Amino acid sequence: MDVSSTSKATFQPSFWRDRSVLVTGATGLVGGWLVKRLLEAEADVICLIRDWTPNAEIVRCGDIDRVTVVRGDICDQECLERVLGEHEVSTVMHLAAQTIVGIANRNPVSTFEANIGGTWKLMEACRRSPKVEQVVVASSDKAYGDAKVLPYTEDTPLAGMHPYDVSKSCGDLIAQTYANTYDLPVCVTRCGNFYGGGDLNWNRIIPGTIRSVLRDEAPVIRSDGSFVRDYFYVEDGATAYMHLAEQMAERPELNGEAFNLSTEIQVSVLELVDQVLETMGSALQPKVLGEASNEIQHQYLDASKAREMLSWKPDFALNEGLARTIQWYQNYFENHQRQSPAIARVSRSTAAA
C-alpha cells in the first residue's frame, strides 16, 4: 500500500490553487507531508532548505522536483525578506526548528538560534512583506513546560525549563507578540509528539521500535517507559495546518490565537511500544534503559478550542496511524536498503499479519 495515495485530506481548492506558499522545515517530518498536501491542492510551493537531506520524504518521493527550492538559513533575515518579496508569498507555514531534545541538551545555542532567532527573524520579514496574508507557526506542547495541572489548555502558561522547551516557549511568545503588537496575521499551533512515515531519526521511539522489529532486535526505551505523551499522526498535522490557514483567511479575528491539536489520547512510552509490537506481530520484549534526563514526565493536550472554533478533528486514530506508519517503513526498507535475511523474514511475516 502506498500510504500517500490514500489520504483523507480535504481542502478548499479555490483557496490553494496557484497560491504562493512558503514552507520552512520542508525536509522535516511534518514539512514533507505538508508539501505533499499543498501540491495536491495545486499550490505554488516555495521551500527554504538549509541542508541537503537525501533521505527526506520530500526528496524520496520526488516532490522536491515540483517545488521552488531556495537554499538558505531560517536565521538569515535578508534571505527571508528576499524570498517573501520575489515570490510574492501569500501564506507562510513556519515549521523549521531543531526538534531533538537530546541535541538541545547537548548544544542549546544552536537550538536557541534556530527556534528563537529563526522565529523572530521570519516574523520580522513577514511584517515587512505586505503580500503575506497568513502565517502559521508550529510551536509544541513542550512550550508549556512541566505544568502541574493537565491536560494543557491554551491558557496554560508557557513555562519551559529545559533548553528545547524554553526555545519553544520563546518562539511561541514571539509569534504572538507580532500578532498583538504589529497586527501580523499569525496563528500558533501546539501539537504533541508527531509520528509517521518519513521520520528517519531512529532515536525517536516509533521509528526506532519499527526498525528494531524489522531487524529482529529488541527495541530500546531510553526512559523508564512511564513517560506519558500525546502522539499525533503526521498527516493529521499537515491537513490541520492547511485548514487553519483557510480559516484565518475567512476569519481575521483568529489572528493571534493559539490552538492545541491532539487526538486527546494519553499513552505511555511502554504502552506505545507494546502497541507497535502487537501491530507488527512481534514477540520481542523492549529493553528499558531508564536513562532519559531533562524531559517532562507527563504531557497531554486539551484540543477542545480547535474543535469548537475551527470545527477541526483528527482523521486518524492511533491504531490507524501506526498501521500506516509501519507500512511506510516496511516499504522504505524493502526499497532503499539491502535487506539482511532477518529483515526480509520479519517484513514478510508482518506484512502478512
Grid cell of 255 as nine digits: 489572528
Asked if residue 33 lies in contact with residue 196, where contact means CB atoms within 8 angstroms, the answer is yes
Helix (H/G/I), strand (E/B), else coil: 227: coil
- CA angle centred on 280, ends 276 and 283, rounded to 5°: 90
Task: In whole angstroms, give the CA distance from residue 277 to residue 280.
Answer: 5
Q: Which residues are catalytically annotated? A: 164
Amino acid making up residue 183: D
Burial grade of 243 (CB within 10 A; 0-12, 13-18, 19 or more): buried
What gap in Å lies between CA 75 and CA 208, rounded to an integer? Answer: 31
- CA 79/CA 282 separation, integer angstroms: 49
Query: Is residue 170 within 8 Å of residue 163, measured between CB atoms?
Result: no
Nearest alpha-carbon partner for 130 in 85, 173, 175: 85
